[in-house]
Amino acid sequence: MRVLFVVADLFFSEPLGVMLLGAIARQHGHQARLVALSRHRLSGMLREFDPDVVAYSAMTPDEHLIAQADAVVRRHAQWRGKKVFRILGGPHATFFPEVLGKLDLDAVCIGEGDLLLPRLLAALENDRPLEGIPNLLLPGQGDCVKELPQDLDAIPFPDRTLLYQADPDLQAQGIRSFLSQRGCPHRCTYCFNHAYNMLFKGPGHKLLRRRSVDNLIAELREVKDRFPTMRFVRFADDVFVLRQDAWLEEFVVRYPREVGVPFYCLIRCNALTDEVGRILQQAGCRSISMSIESGSEEVRNKVLHRKMNDDMVRGAFAIARKYRLNAYANTILGIPGTTLADDYRSFLFAREVAPAFPTFSIFSPFPKTPLTNHAIAIGALDPQVDYATITSYESSALTSYSPEEKRQQTNLLYLSQIFCLVPGFMLHALPWLLKLPLSRFYRLLYSLSYTWFASSRIFPGAGPRDVRGIAKAVLRSIKAIYFPNDKRRISE
């Protein structure tokens, strides 16, 4: 069978889930292609590839885009006079399974699709019933059997040729993404992981699953050999280092000897001890993601459930500097129940701990998370809000801020990154600058500084080496930040 995977956009962080499903499809003898709605003409791909199955992958803000794409797929199927099976996966389908009826799809995938896809394709190919396939929700069903793959070593490596066939420019990028584990044990209230764990919690369901070091190293070496442009490894795990354990100790010994490429990973402040910092540096780690989230210890712990006091955060960033681990650190503005003054204090705290790459975002309510429910409960968020219209780089979705406060909050988002680095005497100008109606100009400054920080401090040396490739990569990065809504309509 021919399977067309459809995503909203392609950026430098590779779509590992789709690439993995592409590998599974091909492992079972099927053909697979990938299309990005913001970059390709969907109708042209449909005519060329003539898929039997169209598999959409979507975040909640992408629903409108998927609806447009599905209309194109329906017209193609009618023109061809054939049945095209249409299924939606990803976070939106998992937390909003009612999208099945809303878009009149054939099915949605709840959670991970590794076990679902080969059984679905075999059933479709042989005209067998689809009922009982794990994680497959069909029209008229209230629920489905839920399973999680437990042995990650048994799953094929993601199919990178699927990605590079769809977007050859990405092969010139030196960043390659990998997953060492799935799941997250933490309960941060703004994140979907806790809701996901509750959805799949049950006998026989191990939520946190990790690949063996052997298996991970084998993939890293294969990608390094097949795609020698790999100059930086990005571990895309929700949390790469949970603690100093036997897995980590084996990894940090073998990685520099068998792979030897600088890498980036995510860690929490409470896991970055002096010893962990030392062994990460020796293994080749050059940058980390380690969030601050709030400059208020009370908000960070009581509202966000981060379980980190101020001294722990300060200490972790001091360790990062000691071992030259450039820290990418996010701080959330507009947390429900806080004020613009709280946002400014968060900026000052981020400036104090001095991450190598300070980033800021405005609270984006993910549906069905504890913090979103809290925002609704305190009257700070409209219960009927359209989640598909919300981004973390524009304006707060909360009703608890006045229009002027929202404008200043957005300006703080765009200027904080730069003002984390300027001399102290220049801080006096910031409150005045926040009041000016210059958000579009500030946003341009932000997109430029973000691109510079990411390329020079977090993934140094990973970009294209030729002038044309560099220019295309910079423009692509700026466009993604400065024009985030460009992907809201597709080119048929």
Q: Which residue has the tokens 């097949």?
A: 226
- What does the mean pLDDT of the chain come to? 91
Same domain? 364 vs 280? yes
Same domain? 242 vs 349? yes
pLDDT score at 479: 65
In terms of Cα–Cα distance, which of 55, 49, 51, 45 is closest to 22? 55
- pLDDT above 60: residue 251: yes
CATH number at residue 389: 3.80.30.20
Q: Residue 469 domain-assigned?
A: no
Q: Which residues, 6+ apart, have CB-to-CB distance to 223 below 8 Å?
A: 157, 160, 176, 178, 230
pTM: predicted TM-score of the whole model, two decimal places: 0.91
Q: What is the pLDDT of residues 138-172, one digit of tens each?
A: 998 888 889 999 999 999 999 999 999 998 888 88
Same domain? 86 vs 199? no
Q: How many domains does the chain have?
A: 2
Same domain? 185 vs 285? yes
Q: Residue 432 domain-assigned?
A: yes
Q: Considering the chain, what percentage of its residues have pLDDT values greater than 70?
A: 94
Residue 46 CA to residue 180 CA, distance in Å, equals 34
Q: What is the pLDDT of residues 372-427, one digit of tens each?
A: 999 999 999 999 887 766 765 578 999 999 999 999 999 999 999 999 999 999 99
Same domain? 197 vs 242? yes
Q: Residue 482 domain-assigned?
A: no
Same domain? 392 vs 259? yes
Same domain? 92 vs 195? no
**Radius of gyration over alpha carbons of the chain, in Å?**
23
- Which position has the higher pLDDT, 454 or 259? 259
Residue 176 CA to residue 480 CA, distance in Å, equals 19
Q: What is the mean pLDDT of residues 471-488?
A: 62
Name the range with the highest mean pLDDT among 59-63, 206-210, 342-346, 448-452. Answer: 342-346
Same domain? 126 vs 216? no
Lowest mean pLDDT among 58-62, 94-98, 106-110, 326-330: 58-62
| 9 backbone dihedrals φ, ψ, rounded to 5° | -155, 165
Q: Which residue has the tokens 């442009």?
A: 229
Same domain? 261 vs 410? yes
Structural contact between residues 457 and 356, judged by C-beta atoms closer than 8 angstroms: yes
- Kindly indicate the confidence band of residue 14, based on its pLDDT and cuts at 50, 70 and 90: confident
Q: Kindly list the strands in the beta sheet with 232-235, ordered across the sheet, starting from the edge strand earlier in the chain.
A: 175-178, 232-235, 263-266, 285-289, 326-333, 357-362
In terms of Cα–Cα distance, which of 401, 395, 428, 397 is closest to 414? 395
Q: Residue 180 domain-assigned?
A: yes
End position of a domain, from candidates 137, 154, 185? 137
Same domain? 245 vs 106? no
Q: Residue 270 domain-assigned?
A: yes
- Kindly indicate the confidence band of residue 294, based on its pLDDT and cuts at 50, 70 and 90: very high
Question: For residues 473, 477, 479 and 484, what is the CA-based torsion angle, rounded to 10 degrees?
Answer: 150
- pLDDT above 70: residue 478: no
End position of a domain, from candidates 112, 137, 162? 137
- pLDDT above 60: residue 486: no
Residue 287 CA to residue 303 CA, distance in Å, equals 28
| Residue-range definition of the domain harbouring residue 121 | 2-137
- pLDDT above 70: residue 114: yes
Residue 290 CA to residue 130 CA, distance in Å, equals 43
Distance of CA 252 to the CA centre of its chain: 25
pLDDT score at 170: 85
pLDDT score at 152: 96
- pLDDT above 60: residue 361: yes
Same domain? 210 vs 116? no
pLDDT score at 155: 96
Residue 190 CA to residue 365 CA, distance in Å, equals 7
Q: Residue 403 domain-assigned?
A: yes
Question: For residues 412, 349, 367 and 377, what is the CA-based torsion angle, rounded to 10 degrees?
Answer: -100
| Token pair listed for 461 | 């040396």
Q: Residue 385 domain-assigned?
A: yes
pLDDT score at 168: 87
pLDDT score at 336: 95
Same domain? 130 vs 179? no
Q: Residue 48 domain-assigned?
A: yes
**Extended beta strands in 220-319, E state:** 232-235, 263-266, 285-289
- pLDDT above 90: residue 254: yes
Residue 410 CA to residue 400 CA, distance in Å, equals 15
pLDDT score at 81: 92
CATH number at residue 89: 3.40.50.280
pLDDT score at 481: 62
pLDDT score at 391: 63
pLDDT score at 189: 87
- pLDDT above 90: residue 202: no
- pLDDT above 70: residue 116: yes
Residue 83 CA to residue 73 CA, distance in Å, equals 10
- pLDDT above 60: residue 437: yes
